[in-house]
Amino acid sequence: MNERQFGPVTFITGENQGKYPYCHSIYIESAGILIDPASDRMKLAELRENSAVREVWLSHWHEDHQMHLDLFDDLPLCISEPDAPPLMDIDLFIDSYGELSEEERRHWRELLVKQFHFRPRKPARFLKSGDTIQLDTVTIDVIGAPGHTPGHLALFFREPGVLFMADYDLTRFGPWYGDTQASIEDTIESVNRLRHIPAKVWLTCHETGIFEEQPGRLWDQYLGVIFERERKLLNLLEKPKTLMDIIGACIVYGKPREPKVFYVLGERLLMKKHLEKLINEGTVAKKGEKYYKISDHATDRLSSITTGFRSSNDTLS
């Protein structure tokens, strides 16, 4: 179990390097505030046993950030108001993913209860974008960073210069924006806003988790995944394709993966977001069950953008 200290901010490493379904947690010992309790159940149970935790915060509503929230059922819970509804009812939680088949709903209902220990929770109060929270040892700026979810929050700990970006994690997989109220455009805007905050340390919830130098090209690499997915989708739509054809192309995950109920859903949700965006932009149209490209302008633009991003990625690898 690894921990890192940045002034009053403790970074608790999640199991399996914080890869889904786990995440890294943040703990402010002096205030007893635990953020995103899905790191290491034994460590969190130890904090619980010592009665050190007095309040739990969630950066957003996703299951991999509240896996061990059940350990803290009796403590106040704080989250942004837009992200609160899924916490209150398991059906609302599942609805928030998007349109799911009955088989997918059954899968997620069972998984949420058994693996993620889901129990309906009502927040004690809301964390609001723009708020400044003054604790004994640190000042926290609450930063609205929607896109991943409508109420996704980042936190800037002023005195140590630590920016907690939660699920804008700068991984090579890229951003997730597949849920009902997620947004590609808001994701890009939020990441660009966070990259200009004058931090000294950048913390995220998955994989690398700690960046002690300016992430530099990683910002571009991360956003570049969005444009690369879109470029591949537009190339695919040179000939009309059904949604099932698009899912079968495995643009997101690269190849078929198991369990299908998880990965096929991920492909579908993300590709539907791209299709909605491209239709709104007048680049793609739909006739019957098939989607097709109607404009080459976006393809040319994306080819130029992704060529630049791939060059940056080659330097990083």
Q: Give the model's pLDDT for residue 312.
A: 45
Q: Give the model's pLDDT for residue 296.
A: 73
Q: Give the model's pLDDT for residue 2.
A: 83
The domain covering 3-215 belongs, at the CATH homologous superfamily level, to Ribonuclease Z/Hydroxyacylglutathione hydrolase-like (3.60.15.10)
Q: Give the model's pLDDT for residue 316.
A: 34
Q: Give the model's pLDDT for residue 306.
A: 53
User: Which residue is associated with the tokens 């149970």?
Assistant: 45
Q: Give the model's pLDDT for residue 75.
A: 97
Domain 227-316 is found in CATH 3.30.420.40: no
Q: Give the model's pLDDT for residue 311.
A: 47
Low-confidence spans in the chain with pLDDT less than 70: 1, 297-317
pLDDT in tens, 187-223: 999 999 999 999 999 999 999 999 999 999 999 999 9
pLDDT in tens, 247-272: 999 999 999 999 999 999 999 999 99
Residue 219 — φ and ψ, nearest 5°?
A: -60, -50
Alpha helices in the chain, H assignment, sequence order? 41-49, 85-88, 90-95, 102-114, 184-194, 217-236, 243-248, 260-280, 297-316
* Cβ pair 192, 175 in contact under 8 A: no
Q: Give the model's pLDDT for residue 51.
A: 81
* Cβ pair 142, 133 in contact under 8 A: yes
Portions of the chain given CATH number 1.10.10.10:
227-316
Portions of the chain given CATH number 3.60.15.10:
3-215
